[in-house]
Amino acid sequence: NSSKSYAALRNISLTINAGEIVALVGESGSGKSTLARILAGLDRATQGDIRWASGNGRVQMVFQDPVGSLNPRWTIGRSIGEPLALTADHPKIAEAARDCGLDPQLLTRYPHEISGGQAQRAAIARAIISRPDLLVLDEPVSAVDFEIRDQILSLLERLRAMHGIAMLFITHDTVAARRLSDRMVILDQGEIV
């Protein structure tokens, strides 16, 4: 809700260039997720605006809980194709899955039938299938173990190289932020410090 968004963030000014990965780091309650939701169009700010160099931009979001973000009644393939309303056997779905290192044989399974790491790859595939200008990643590696975290960070680096997608990587993990991002922005009590 807009009053919550207004109270959570103050005087935010952030530029993300094409193909750049910016890490947004802050403690719990600092406003990171509120900013992510505003950028993704899930919440509205009571003041200010978002400006795109091209006049408009496409944003996709990847959430912290990949299994919870996938529809439990849909196959993985249907979930990946959902942003473009594609049928589950469309070739773009298998391409997005391959781009994210997800075995195309998993596309007929359901979220509860795959691992957390595979679910996060599926969520990322769903986010990139429409080739967004900005990928907002809200704590995408906090719910996975160290090995999977490293694989997901490598995947994000590869996707940027392949597709030139700009990313806002929201995390409280400064090690992951330093590894992945071109620069880090610290958010504290709703303000960039």
Average pLDDT of the chain is 88
Report whether pLDDT(4) > 60. Answer: no
What confidence tens digit (pLDDT) does each residue in 52-84 have?
887 788 999 998 888 888 999 999 999 999 999
pTM (2 d.p.): 0.89
Per DSSP, 31 falls in state S
Q: What pLDDT was estimated at residue 24?
A: 94
Lowest pLDDT segment from 3-12, 36-45, 59-68, 122-131:
3-12
Task: Convert 17-39 to b/e letters by CB count within 10 Å (16 or more is b).
Answer: eeebbbbbbbeeebbbbbbbbbb
User: How sure is the predictor about 5, in pLDDT bands with cuts at 50, 70 and 90?
Assistant: very low
